[in-house]
Amino acid sequence: MTRVAFVGLGTMGLPMARNLIAAGHEVVGSDLDPARVDALGGADAGAPAEVVIASLPSAAAVEEVAHGLPGSGAEVFVDMSTGPPSLARQLADELGAAGIASLDAPVSGGPRGAETATLSIFVGGSPETFARVEPLLGALGSVVALVGGPGAGQVVKLCNNLMAGVNMVAIAEACAVAERAGIDAATLYGLITRSTGDSRVLRTRFPLAGADESHPSNRGFEPMFMLDLIAKDLSLACELAGEEGVEPAVARTALAAYRAAQERGLGRLDYSAVYLSSAATAK
């Protein structure tokens, strides 16, 4: 059993923390919203946690948590948020100097994956630190992989979200075309999921209502992953591409579509709501 402090009990963090408890670990919750801490079982002022795990919406929040760790008794910091690889490398250096090991371990799979412990977890850091916390991560995901040194996990996550974000914009545009041409939504979905246009994004976020009741489009685009967040991640991916000497022309075009959707007030909806912007601008 490991004593864990889990920082950030949102739609991803709370079910992840619960899965750690179910796996037999002792978990102390921390969140700006006291109701979320209560939902986990309340904060505990007992012994310091050996491992601190963060699942937070911004790099600034991650940095604030990390800077508070020296002297706390924490031995390992695991950042499961999505952020710039440069920050992961910076924190690895800073925390390492204070005697605290760190890993960047962003995830893919959304709230459903968090609830069912079927996340894909991309880990950057040392093999020794990874081996120490792998049992914890194994309680959260079905795919757990060390992909390189500090920052490497964030690189893989940003590449993943670049592909997912671009795919969603293409799906939105195609659906806007099909709808204007009078193609039935269920018919379109049934055919494309058995054709070369199929993808995991299509199967979880088809933006036309009536084809699959599990998709956000059937619930007013209630967010599984907010449009504001995919826009943030695409922006980070474009920055990373530039740092590596790659021109992300397609990603920049997709990012422009999400920016246009944000300007229409759609940022707090699921990112499949980019369809609403595509449909509204169709001529």
| Catalytic positions | 157
The set of residues, in sequence order, having a beta carbon less than 8 Å from that of 131 and lying 6+ positions away, is: none
Longest Cα–Cα distance of the chain, Å, equals 64
CA-only gyration radius of the chain, Å: 20
Please say whether the beta carbons of 87 and 54 come within 8 A: no
User: What amino acid occupies position 60?
Assistant: A
Dist CA 32 CA 55 (whole Å): 12
The set of residues, in sequence order, having a beta carbon less than 8 Å from that of 136 and lying 6+ positions away, is: 2, 4, 20, 23, 25, 51, 53, 78
